[in-house]
Amino acid sequence: MRSPGSMSCKTSRTGLRPGTGVSSWMAIGTVTESGGEQAQMGSKRNVIRMGGNVLALATSRARLLPSFLVIGTKRGGSTSLYDYVTRHPAVLPARVEKGSHYFDVNYGRGWTWFRSTFPLARGSDVITGEASPYYMFHPLAAERFAAALPEVRLIASLRDPVTRAWSQHQYETKRGFEDLPFEEALAREAERLAGQEERVRAGEESFAHRHHTYLARGRYAEQLERIYQLVPPERVLVVRSEDMFADPAAALARIWRFLGLADHQLEDVPVLKANRYEQGMPAAARAYLQSYYEPHNQRLYRLPGIDFRWEAEAPAAAAGPPERLASLPSQP
């Protein structure tokens, strides 16, 4: 890994660096603004963007390859973590939001396109990287990035799987990707995911595999075990997101050392995509999830690099789970 030196420095910046969504990055797209002047401005922006994309493709070989990947988990703080890391003066962000999604859904775009999504090389004192919370869960991503980037370092931000599942359901519902109540979505997850991993392995996309995996994404041990078969554990840093938000300076100090970067203090560390939901998780669902994840968490705690635990809350007293949760498995 490149080392930018040993001097400490300090900076301040809030919010994400501006970027352009991957879906519109390689095409001019459709102008949706009303009015002639607004349409002309939109067209000009699209032409400029297209010209930049062509230049990026033409200069792809002169661009940095990522030294690190933030691989997950979804609703686990990966957006905030990536923003914090790219605020280090020796880290340049990807050109497309927080990453290309190349190793999961954009693999078919090819290596030249992937390289074009990163900044131009500016000497040996800077590095770059990207983030995708789907990299950790996608069944093919690990073998793809392990083969393409044999020295890459991985950072996983993990959240208590009980609250992560609830947060993902609220997030998918808000975006219009989920129309089932939480308990029903949990009860129907196995049905919805039947055959979907095989579909993804065959090179197809799966909406359910990306958006309806409330239980499956929280089984962290099986995901990390797959990665450890391809990437040595010493090149994987697992951060508990609750610790990162409680003491950002300590978490970032670990990350700087892990990436071989100089010490760096951020003046402010905003929590990005931190949503406050009006309704709390149903007590029966929480009790079920705590029981469900207990063996999975114990399996996680035995893996290399895991130095934390989640303290389970005492289950709320209840007559029993709702009918739609009664058929859910109590064991992995």
The residues of the chain scoring below 50 in pLDDT are 1-51, 314-322, 331-332
Query: What distance in Å separates the CA atoms of residue 319 and residue 283, rounded to the nearest whole number?
Result: 11
Burial class (CB in 10 A: 0-12, 13-18, 19+), 199: middle
Q: What is the pTM of this model?
A: 0.80
DSSP 280: P
Q: What value, to the nearest 5°, has the Cα angle with vertex 253 and ends 143 and 119?
A: 55
pLDDT score recorded for residue 53: 76
Beta bridge partners of 224: none
pLDDT score recorded for residue 14: 33
pLDDT score recorded for residue 332: 47
CA distance to 10, 88, 165, 229, 274, per residue, from 269 (Å): 12, 12, 24, 34, 12
> Is the alpha carbon torsion for 167, 169, 174, 176 positive or negative?
positive
Backbone phi, then psi, for 164, in 5-degree steps?
-65, -45
pLDDT score recorded for residue 294: 96
pLDDT score recorded for residue 159: 96
pLDDT score recorded for residue 324: 60
Q: What is the pLDDT of residues 210-252, one digit of tens each?
A: 999 999 999 999 999 999 999 999 999 999 999 999 899 999 9
pLDDT score recorded for residue 271: 67
- Region of 253 on the Ramachandran plot (φ > 0 left; ψ -120 to 50 alpha; else beta): alpha
Tokens representing residue 36 in the block? 């002639």
